[in-house]
Structure 1
């Protein structure tokens, strides 16, 4: 008699599975390589009809894995594989390696034997729940989106092999359409679906099914010709049943060795097609005593690759993916890799959702924008009123020579366009806007003052719409208005300024007290130290902002800076922002304690100047700002600096100066 030939399993891995593996590797596994559970499904064998030849073509004996294939309570993942009434969920063992070399050098025999032993122990215990377990080993090259993988479906080898009595036939021709219709009704009602089941069809009795584990009780007193062993068959071959039958026959021989023949129903009917049932029927027989004695048989089952050889396969998702999506994931990958070991508590989602307003699109603005982009921030708005000049592109990385021609492109819009070319996923905007400044009077023309008011209102609206304001302008006085607005609106304000070989990076303080935290966090609660409010760019200066550009030489009007210094200052400012975002107090975070070596200040106690200015703005609005722009001495009088000057002059008047003789 012919030996029974089984159609081996072949894997069908959806791209969504690899995306899930990517997230699992980055967010959960990291460098861990311990084995995890994984789920797959297989369903009844299917075939299609070739339109040209009219021939029926089988679709193979496949198991499928998708986005919901991972399930691990230990790792906090809660996913499950959904199966229909004729689709079976099977469980496997998944192991991912950190390098391709480790993947190649893995002890695959030991892993295969370990899983085979687990299946054998399940058979010995009388259970069929693990008959179709599988093994999946992988290496994920996340930078190139290439996934190396190898499946194994352990199945035991029968010695001597099972033989088919006659041939595999149409189940409808042998068992009849009515019996198959009844089986279809019973299996469809079974939840979850039974991958293996018994069928009893004695004449005069109701057709019934039962799990294979109930073999002895269910078939007690039932003649052999009315006993049928059925399994949900993923094969579509007319003469080769699917892979799950191998271990089912091993189970039957181990527990019922006296039965040498079995009537096998290869159930392939999720629905009736073209008026015919697709299931196959055959009688398998053992021609002699099979080896058992409680010893585990040898097993086979490694999947062959596309060349038909035993070896791993490779899935390359790069060509399938949207380049914009690739860039987005590549940026996230670098940040998540940082979190693996260096910054495990880094809240990347909080960083990425932060909306940044950059006042100034020059050297600092360009470098800060690139730094924010590298940290995963997706909303960046530039404000600038100048155009790209020929001296800019070599120092400002978002501009090119062509941007300087024909008078130069507006800097803000040009920087935003170039930022989108660097990374299309960023929401970048460029707005040309003149920021009014103290010491630069607004002409009394109603039209000009109306335009200035519109500019202020637009700046107010932009600051409202963003979480962080970067002050990156050339002059001191241009920082005054956004400083006042940022403080009044409770925004994080970051300041960066350049000298020749020095730079200043600072964050502005916030009004009021920090929100209450636990007794172990800093602030007023629990530390025994008073909260110290940080000052702003102007707090440590006794000179009010005024015109710093008129009657200045060229080197005084332009920031003359060593090349490369802007990149250092910008990176420092961006990392300072990220640190503030990570702190539980946010904008209220306290500075490090002062040290003699660092010269850091522990905070600014005197809120007199800033609070008076902010309250005047809140009470008077644009009228107060107009006074600050137009009236010399207004800010000094508002903040009390004029009295400080008077006191200083008075002290000098009381000094008794001694004039030494020239001879001495």
Structure 2
């Protein structure tokens, strides 16, 4: 309780302070504001709260802040009075601890005092109901530190009690109480509010009238000794008024002490008990106003809330235990991404990162490292049919292969990016073909013992150019011009895939191999490096305005201006752990590629699973015949034979 000292012969007027009630929704909204809007901004923010005067006896007077506190235009709940406040949200716990609480209180008190002197508080009484909230949000632990303040100006002289407090039903008749209820309701309805924080009262034995503060001159005309004022009182204690009365009494003393000797106060308390409205428990008392008006200086102010132990200090709420672990993990990822934007990469397009759906094929060492970096993971157990691994034509085996292919097609269709992270070369063939056909971005990562390759597959042009095409129109128009060099300015749709550098179709790579040759044996850090680079390559591609169609960056571009806020967008990253070195080669798509060439894609799109079954059940010569590799081998062999013959002839005939 805070007391105003008074005449020793009279009782002291005491006030019940507010108890802050900050809803969980408030902290959730503050978290979102901090991440998405405030970031590192520590400037004061306008917020609003409300208080209620219909609680049962024994409950503290509460000033409530909930999720709507940040929306200054949000409606105040029914039968509640608004309070306007200022939020000071600090970036560090140290800033929270060292904030100048005295200065913050003095600033708020000055604003209240100026509204009293200027008359603004008469026009807008909510200006008397200001509060401060100093906070620090530790969003990694979900610990929220806060210190609440409801500034109250102190009177330069005492306000001794002349009468009371007593229950309203001891001073007002039932008829007067009903008249007060009716007059108050009518005034609220006229003003379009659910509750009025302060109002004027005039009554006799038969009538009770109420009015707004700004009408005090006309309303109290003719009265000489005392006036009656009403306050919407959140306190339910029988002997004490609530905290909002303090600033109102300062206004009354400053404005009316020269005209009236005392003021009668009705602490209006409006609650519903067993379905019936009850205001009879309201209290009424009379206090003597100071005889002298205030000086121009702002009075002293108090108002910082005590902590749970009753001392002057902040409070802390821990919300980590009530958070779902999955939500906490998601929030941690979201937090890390947004923190990048605050200071390091303000131009980072987070929506593209957060919204992308990734399909990881392969859940070994490499796949697990990619999944850990991405932090999204849902498992599917399936087999991927492969070239050189025949599918028997028994109904069970064939149908299982068909179902596996259908599931893989559906998964690739429903995702934006496909990661190829399997152990063997042939296991990458089918998803590479499906992804190329569906125009999905593919990120491929493969390991050697101390080497690795991470690459993005070339993204084919859309089948039909139109408004929704992923391929930029200007890129298509200038394609031939850009492709003039084999090592520079290669657009994304001309880049090769994992199989484009091979002149042999994929087959059974594990046949007739020893155990160490069948397993991927690599240095222990290699999978982590390659997995991380695969994710970073995907994010860099997504940040480029042309996405998968972006021109490939090469090693020669390392000293040039990067095309995205995250840097280069290479085609390939080839790493050599023995030298701790990376290179960024670029290669064109191969027109005889066994995975992404038009002959393979056209055949797959026409025949579907029937074509795939031929690949699975035939030797590697089937794909080589289809793509023209067989003919290329024959021509190469013929050329080699001719070269040898010419070499032999040149030895016998020096003139040649």
Instruction: State whether TM-score is above 0.5.
Output: yes
SS in structure 2 of the partner of residue 169 of structure 1: strand
Check 1:599–1:19 CA distance in 2 against 1; reply closer, same or farther (3 A cut): closer
- The residue that corresponds to 1:154 in the other structure is 151
Question: 1:520–1:526: 8 Å Cα contact kept in structure 2?
Answer: no
Separation in 1, partners of 2:31, 2:354 = 19
**C-alpha separation between the residues in 1 aligned to 2:641 and 2:427?**
35
Correspondence list, 1:68-467, <5 A: 68-71=68-71, 80=74, 82-84=76-78, 86-128=79-121, 129-189=126-186, 190=188, 191-192=192-193, 193-202=195-204, 207-221=208-222, 227-258=227-258, 259-271=260-272, 277-286=280-289, 288-290=290-292, 292-373=294-375, 377=376, 380=377, 428-433=378-383, 435-467=384-416
Asked if the contact 2:357/2:415 (under 8 Å) is kept, the reply is: yes
CA shift for structure 1 position 31? 1.8
Post-superposition offset of 1:218: 1.8
Aligned counterpart, 1:478: 427
Contact persistence 2:492–2:550 (CA under 8 A): no
**CA shift for structure 1 position 153:** 1.6
Name the residue aligned to 2:23: 14
1:539 and 2:500 correspond: yes
SS at match of 1:42: strand
Question: CA offset at residue 121 of structure 1?
Answer: 0.6
CA distance in 2, matches of 1:463, 1:660: 57
Select 2:586's aligned residue among 577, 581, 601.
601
- Which residue in 1 is equivalent to 2:571? none
- Match runs of 1:585-664 below 5 Å: 585-592=546-553, 595=556, 598-601=583-586, 603-604=588-589, 606=591, 610-632=597-619, 633-655=621-643, 656-658=646-648
> Does the CA contact (< 8 Å) of 2:361 and 2:420 recur in 1?
yes
- Judged with a 3 Å threshold, the aligned counterparts in structure 2 of structure 1 residues 291 and 305 are, in CA distance, closer, same or farther, namely farther
Contact 1:231/1:265 (<8 A) preserved: yes
Query: What SS is found at the alignment partner of 1:95?
Result: strand
The whole-number CA distance in structure 2 between the counterparts of 1:450 and 1:539 is 31
Structure 2 match to 1:401:
none
Structure 1 CA distance for aligned equivalents of residues 439 and 470 of structure 2: 22
Structure 1: distance between partners of 2:426 and 2:176: 92
Query: How far apart, CA to CA, are the structure 2 residues paired with 1:558 and 1:96?
Result: 55
Q: In 2, distance between residues paired with 1:489 and 1:308?
A: 66
Q: Which moved more, 1:195-204 or 1:2-11?
A: 195-204
Say whether residues 1:577 and 2:538 are aligned partners.
yes
Q: SS where residue 69 of structure 2 aligns? A: coil
Q: Secondary structure at the match of 1:329?
A: helix
Structure 2: gaps spanning 5 or more residues: 1-9, 484-490, 559-582
Distance of aligned partners of 1:186 and 1:343 in 2 relative to their CA distance in 1, 3 Å threshold:
farther
Measure, in 2, the Cα distance between the counterparts of 1:542 and 1:123: 88
Q: Secondary structure at the match of 1:481?
A: helix
Native 8 Å contact 1:17 1:67 kept in 2? yes
Quote how far apart the aligned CAs of 1:560 are. Answer: 2.2
TM-score scaled to structure 1, two decimals? 0.82
Secondary structure (helix, strand or coil) at the match of 1:523 reads: helix
- Specify the SS of the correspondent of 2:111: helix
1:236-287 alpha-carbon deviations (Å, 9 max, x no partner)? 111111111111111112122221211211111144658662211111113x
1:567 deviates by: 0.8
Write the distance in 2 (CA, Å) between the matches of 1:540 and 1:520.
Answer: 27
1:610 positional shift? 1.5
CA contact (8 A) 1:532 1:603 kept: no
Give the conservation status (yes or no) of the 8 Å contact 2:46–2:87. yes
Q: Distance in 2 between matches of 1:317 and 1:448?
A: 53
Comparing 358-367 with 233-242, which one deviates more in the overlay? 358-367
TM-score (norm 2): 0.83
Q: CA RMSD in A?
A: 3.0
Q: Give the secondary structure class of the aligned counterpart of 1:239.
A: coil
Give per-residue Cα distances to partners, 1:325-356, cap 9 Å, x unaligned: 33333333233223322233444454344333
- State the shift of 1:118 in Å: 0.6
- Cα deviation per residue 1:436-476 (whole Å; 9 max; x = unaligned)? 22223333444433332233223223323333322111211
Is the 1:68–1:79 contact (alpha carbons within 8 Å) kept by the matching residues of 2?
A: no
- CA-to-partner distance for each residue in 1:150-196, whole Å, 9 max, x for gaps? 12222121132111112111112212223332332343351223211
Separation (CA, whole Å) in 2 of partners of 1:323 and 1:596: 43
Answer with 261-270 or 639-648: which moved more: 639-648
User: How far 1:79 sits from its partner (Å)?
Assistant: 6.3
Shift in alpha-carbon separation, 1:246–1:511, aligned structure 2, 3 A? same
Q: Does the CA-based 8 Å contact 1:519-1:525 persist in structure 2? A: no
3-state SS of the aligned residue for 1:308?
Answer: coil
CA–CA separation in structure 1 for the residues paired with 2:543 and 2:482: 22
Name the counterpart of 2:573.
none
